[in-house]
């Protein structure tokens, strides 16, 4: 007989065959009628609709034949599947391919055969429509064509059933999910004609209300968004746009309710044969949380920009190939030029001649990689002729594929006022260098602790102090009796300073007491203490500070609000009023950076929350389907490289629909949340739990073979079954069914692995539920 022929796309063909769920299924009246018609039409002994899988041909419909399946290696039909061409055999005893086939050599064996391929989607030959006789038969002309037409009928029927089932399943998923499907009719007026059952969850309105003739969809839309929605819908109806996609607010249905919820709206038009719009189909998604986070992030970014402006920081980006400099401010703010002629300003032509070489040298050194950052001071000519001092810091942030520099970014600010006083230039320069350093380090690294570690010893050195402390008030603090310590230094006490640093890194907070320090925080005025300071005047519990012979306590401001405190003590020179003027730029900088640190933390929190929403199932807190599949792909690739054991379990909560029907959807949601908690408690930290949809979950168990994985899932099953879920003082008994399988080297793709787990889950449910079915490893 020779080897069994295989089509080129055998793997994909088998995947489709199993996905159709036709194997080992019940009878189909239409297919049975076609089979009877074929037998009578060809006057054959047997007519079959066969489906060929890895090892057998299984008969979806049969007439004149008792067996339900036969081995693939003796099947005539497998030749049709391999070639995709109709096979016609007049006398099998004379055909070299079949002369020794047991179904031919047997008594009353096959003599004649005609089989036409069942082809889906033009390339997948799943089986045949065939007729068989125990007598030789010289088939008349046209036999092949007639059978092929009937085979096309069978293929079309199978395809239609498959696509209809997919449509119904998709519609059911939508009805249970966060997306509400709606349909508008166009005539005689634009009116909703279909609203999915989950409208109450997505929009807050019952479908029956939205379908009333006296209710229009726009009536529930916020007045500020209504006109735009109507205009876009009209453009869609008029054919001016291919689709509609927008966000808008939906009013809450309660008469006295305040506020609204955000909806993401996507819609397309259906057309008749003449191209006229006959209906609009749409999908509405409750996007309130994501939209609110987006708005909060935008507001945080605006506040961040305002904080930059308040501290007189300006950002810049230089696109080197085009020599285009983009700045975050108008040149008129610094140089007095007409804001309407911003694009005409050539900043390089305004450079002071004495500063050009220094700037170019610094720039060249940084672009060549000789310096970590570009850091330079230079002067630019004001419109009235005098020069403005600028301090600019930046870094190269982008290179082309060939290594050439593309873009630099940085910050700069006007330092003219600080350098005007020549009499105190040396000391002022030291302060300004410190200000510039901490400003730029914070802007580039966003680490306030590092800024304080650097700045506090410098401030102590400038004022000949032996003690220094920097603290920040909590946001929206009114009592002013608590500080978060960012820096604490005692000159010569290295061991104590190391312990202080560890505590600060852990988030050291102290209770403030004493008249001196409380007055600074409450009234916002500096306190000069020329005599020793007692514990009753200044203390920071639980930290014990050294005895202070003298002290200077200064408020840190952002705009007009006290945000923190700087304390310097034990100066060998004492503290004078001019110290306040000397340190004011640093005080303002520290206050501004404290405020910016808070804004940056708020912005980072909003970003992290957006990322979390994109990767976590909102109801249960476990991984969502997208993240779970991504992890599966990574483990699949790891297995294929290193052959380490990987197992997966697909889990379904038994009779979950009855929980919703009996106790309500709130109870159903609580069951899902509680189940997720139990999974996390029972499984390892490295096991990944994902929600695939509805009550279906999956667990990825890395580095576990099927025996270890099945023990873990069985332990979970026993725990779930033994412990009811409590909701509204009601005990809800739950159980689970699961399919467990191990990844194999023969799995050509990820779906092969999951398909085994799905099949095992199906067996568990068919066998009575509340059990797991384990797919053993092949021998």
For residue range 636-659, list pLDDT tens digits in order.
Answer: 999 999 999 999 999 999 999 999
- Identify whether residues 162 and 193 lie together within a single domain: no
Ramachandran region, residue 405 (left: φ > 0; alpha: ψ -120 to 50; beta: rest): beta
Which residues in 741-761 are b (16+ Cβ under 10 Å) and which e? bbbbeebeebebbbbbbbbbb
State the CATH number of the domain containing residue 268. 3.30.450.20
Question: What CA–CA distance (Å, rounded) separates 469 from 675?
Answer: 50
d(CA 113, CA 95): 11
Per the structure, the complete domain to which residue 237 belongs is given by 177-286
Q: Are residues 670 and 691 in the same domain?
A: yes
**Are both 706 and 577 inside the same structural domain?**
no
Asked if residue 510 lies in contact with residue 533, where contact means CB atoms within 8 angstroms, the answer is no
Residues 6 or more apart in contact with residue 262 via CB below 8 angstroms: 247, 248, 249, 250, 286, 287, 288, 290, 291, 292
Interacting residues of 40 by C-beta distance below 8 A, sequence separation 6+: none
181, 166: one domain? no
What's the mean per-residue pLDDT of the chain?
87
720-729 per-position pLDDT tens digit = 999 999 999 8
Listed in sequence order, the DSSP H helices in 223-345 are 223-237, 288-310, 331-335
Q: Grade residue 132 by pLDDT with cuts at 50, 70 and 90.
A: very high
Q: Which of 525, 674, 695, 766 is catalytic?
A: 695
Known catalytic residue: 537? no
Number of other CB atoms surrounding residue 386 within 10 Å: 10
Residues 278 and 307 in one domain: no
For residue range 702-749, what is the model confidence (pLDDT) as tens digits?
A: 999 999 999 999 999 999 999 999 999 899 999 999 999 999 999 999
Antiparallel, parallel or unpaired: β 179-185 and 277-286? antiparallel
Can you give the CATH number for the domain in which 595 is found? 3.30.450.40
Which of 286, 315, 346 is the last residue before a domain boundary? 286
Q: Identify the CATH number of the domain in which residue 732 sits.
A: 3.30.70.270
Q: Rounded to an integer, what is the distance from CA 443 to the centroid of its chain?
A: 28
Domain-located, residue 220: yes
According to DSSP, the β-strands at 688-693 and 179-185 are unpaired
pLDDT at 519: 87
Residue identified by tokens 């300003």 is 345
Within-domain flag for 292: no
What angle, rounded to 10 degrees, do the helices at 494-505 and 448-462 form? 150
> What is the structure's pLDDT at 423?
42
Distance, CA of 726 to CA of 237 (rounded, Å): 51
Whether residues 577 and 711 fall in one domain: no
Phi then psi dihedrals of residue 672, to 5 deg: -65, -45
Q: Give phi and psi for 555, each to the nearest 5.
A: -75, 145
User: Are residue 336 and residue 364 in the same domain, yes or no?
Assistant: yes
Please write the tens of the pLDDT for every residue from 611-620: 666 678 989 9
Our count of domains for the chain comes to: 5
| pLDDT band (50, 70, 90) for residue 224 | very high
Position 612 scores a pLDDT of 65
In this structure, the answer to whether residues 584 and 451 fall within a common structural domain is yes
Q: Is 207 inside any structural domain?
A: yes
pLDDT at 527: 92
Give residue-wise pLDDT tens across range 481-501. 889 999 999 999 989 899 989
Q: What pLDDT, in 10s, does the model give residues 428-442? A: 677 778 777 777 777
Q: How far apart are CA 268 and CA 281, in angstroms?
A: 6
Q: Which two tokens stand for residue 66?
A: 């008792």
User: Residue 767: which pLDDT band, with cuts at 50, 70 and 90?
Assistant: very high
- How many CB atoms are located within 10 Å of the residue 713 CB? 26
């Amino acid at each position: 007989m020779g080897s069994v022929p295989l089509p080129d796309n055998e793997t994909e063909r088998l995947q489709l065959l199993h996905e159709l769920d036709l194997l080992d299924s019940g009878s189909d009246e239409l297919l049975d009628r076609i089979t009877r018609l074929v037998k009578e039409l060809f006057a054959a002994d047997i007519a079959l609709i066969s489906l060929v899988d890895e090892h057998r041909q299984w008969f979806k419909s049969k007439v004149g034949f008792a067996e339900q399946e036969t081995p693939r290696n003796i099947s005539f039909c497998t030749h049709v599947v391999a070639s995709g061409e109709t096979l016609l055999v007049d006398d099998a005893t004379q055909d070299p391919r079949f002369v020794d086939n047991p179904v031919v050599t047997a008594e009353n064996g096959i003599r004649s055969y005609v089989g036409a391929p069942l082809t889906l989607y033009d390339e997948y030959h799943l089986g045949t429509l065939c007729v068989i006789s125990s007598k030789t038969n010289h088939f008349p002309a046209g036999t092949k064509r007639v059978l092929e037409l009937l085979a096309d009928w069978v293929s079309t029927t199978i395809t239609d059933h498959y696509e209809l089932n997919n449509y119904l399943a998709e519609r059911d998923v939508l009805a249970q999910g966060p997306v509400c499907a709606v349909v508008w009719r166009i005539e005689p007026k634009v009116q909703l004609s279909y609203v999915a059952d989950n409208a109450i969850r997505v929009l807050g309105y019952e479908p029956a209300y939205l379908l009333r003739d006296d209710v229009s969809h726009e009536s529930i839309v916020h007045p500020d968004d209504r006109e735009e929605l109507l205009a876009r819908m009209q453009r869609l109806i008029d054919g001016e746009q291919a689709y509609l996609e927008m966000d808008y607010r939906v009013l809450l249905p309660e008469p006295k309710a305040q506020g609204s919820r955000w909806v993401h709206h996507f819609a397309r038009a259906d057309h008749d044969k003449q191209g006229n719009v006959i209906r609009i189909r749409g999908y509405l998604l409750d996007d309130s949380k994501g939209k609110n986070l987006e708005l909060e992030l935008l507001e945080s970014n605006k506040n961040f920009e305002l904080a930059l402006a308040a501290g007189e920081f300006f950002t810049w980006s230089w696109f080197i190939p085009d020599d285009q400099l983009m700045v975050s401010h108008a040149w008129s703010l610094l140089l007095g030029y007409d804001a309407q002629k911003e694009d005409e300003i050539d900043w390089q032509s305004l450079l002071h001649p004495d500063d050009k070489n220094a700037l170019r040298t610094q720039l060249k050194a940084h672009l060549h990689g000789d310096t970590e950052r570009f850091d330079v001071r230079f002067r630019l000519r004001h419109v009235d002729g005098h020069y403005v001092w600028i301090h600019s810091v930046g870094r190269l942030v982008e290179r082309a594929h060939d290594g050439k520099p593309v873009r630099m970014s940085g910050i700069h600010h006007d330092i003219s006022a600080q350098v005007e006083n020549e009499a105190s230039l040396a000391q002022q320069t030291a302060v300004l260098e410190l200000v510039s350093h901490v400003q730029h380090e914070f802007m580039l690294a966003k680490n306030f602790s590092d800024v304080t570690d650097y700045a506090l010893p410098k401030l102590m050195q400038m004022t000949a102090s032996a003690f220094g402390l920097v603290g920040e008030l909590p946001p929206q603090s009114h009592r002013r009796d608590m500080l978060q310590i960012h820096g604490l230094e005692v000159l010569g006490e290295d061991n104590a300073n190391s312990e202080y640093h560890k505590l600060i890194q852990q988030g050291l907070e102290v209770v403030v007491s004493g008249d001196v320090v409380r007055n600074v925080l409450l009234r916002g005025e500096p306190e000069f203490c020329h005599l020793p300071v007692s514990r009753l005047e200044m203390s920071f519990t639980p930290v014990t500070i050294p005895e202070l012979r003298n002290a200077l306590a200064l408020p840190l401001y952002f705009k007009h609000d006290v945000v923190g405190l700087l304390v310097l003590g034990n100066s060998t020179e004492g503290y004078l009023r001019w110290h306040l003027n000397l340190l004011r730029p640093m005080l303002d900088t520290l206050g501004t950076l404290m405020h910016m640190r808070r804004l940056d933390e708020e912005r980072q929190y909003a970003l992290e929350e957006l990322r979390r929403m994109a990767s976590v199932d909102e109801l249960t807190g476990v991984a969502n389907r997208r993240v779970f599949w991504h992890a599966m792909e990574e483990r699949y690739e790891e297995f294929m490289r290193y052959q380490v054991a990987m197992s997966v379990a697909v889990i379904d909560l038994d009779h979950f629909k009855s929980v919703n029907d009996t106790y309500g959807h709130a109870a159903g949601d609580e069951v899902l949340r509680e189940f997720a908690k139990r999974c996390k408690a029972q499984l390892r930290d490295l096991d990944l739990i994902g929600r695939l949809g509805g009550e279906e979950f999956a667990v990825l168990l890395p580095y576990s073979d099927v025996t270890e994985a099945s023990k873990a899932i069985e332990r979970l099953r026993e725990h779930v079954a033994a412990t009811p879920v409590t909701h509204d003082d009601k005990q809800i008994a739950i159980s689970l069914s699961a399919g467990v399988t191990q990844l194999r080297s023969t799995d050509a793709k990820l779906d092969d692995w999951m398909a085994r787990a799905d099949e095992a889950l199906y067996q568990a449910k068919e066998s009575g539920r509340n059990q797991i079915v384990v797919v053993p490893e092949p021998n």
